[in-house]
Amino acid sequence: MENAKIVKPTPEQLENIKKWKESKESPLDRANRKYDEEQKKRFEKIRDRSKEGDVTYNLNRWFSERMRKNDPELLEIQKNGYIAEAVRWARSTITEKMNYGRFSKEQRIEEAKKYAELAGLTLEQILKDHNLKLPE
């Protein structure tokens, strides 16, 4: 330690220290604010994705504490994702819109019913709301 050299702070560092003392905001506060902004962006992205399909994994991944507490806002987003997924499965029963591999029409309808049930609705209600009909 006897060879340790004390380095004087640069004028820029002194200016930053002065700003920090005047603002009374700790670096931790700044980090928390940045984290909150990132969470808001992530939340909006998940909300947008819920219009395309199931987002349960992402909600649990990023907002697990709020999901455990049954946050109504998150549960509504989850429900919208289930509805979107049910609509996707129902649409895939039409030959032109078929995706999801080699599922039969019956299996596709069962998947659509499963997601409708998770949303707390019947498949018939969802189909009516989206002006869809299952093929015969």
Q: Is residue 129 part of a domain?
A: yes
Counted domains in the chain: 1
Judge whether 99 lies within some domain: yes
What's the CA gap between 122 and 25, in Å, rounded? 52
In-domain check, residue 20: no
Domain that holds residue 114: 50-136
- Does residue 72 lie within any of the structural domains? yes
- At residue 61, does pLDDT exceed 90? yes
In a domain? residue 18? no
**In the prediction, which pLDDT does 1 show?**
56
Question: Has residue 102 been placed in a domain?
Answer: yes
From the list 59, 54, 53, the residue with the least C-alpha distance to 73 is: 59
Q: Is residue 2 part of a domain?
A: no
Q: Above pLDDT 90, what percent of the chain? A: 50
Confidence tier at 19 by pLDDT (50, 70, 90):
confident
What local confidence, expressed as pLDDT, does residue 100 receive?
Answer: 58
Amino acid identity of residue 131, one-letter, is N
Q: Is residue 23 part of a domain?
A: no
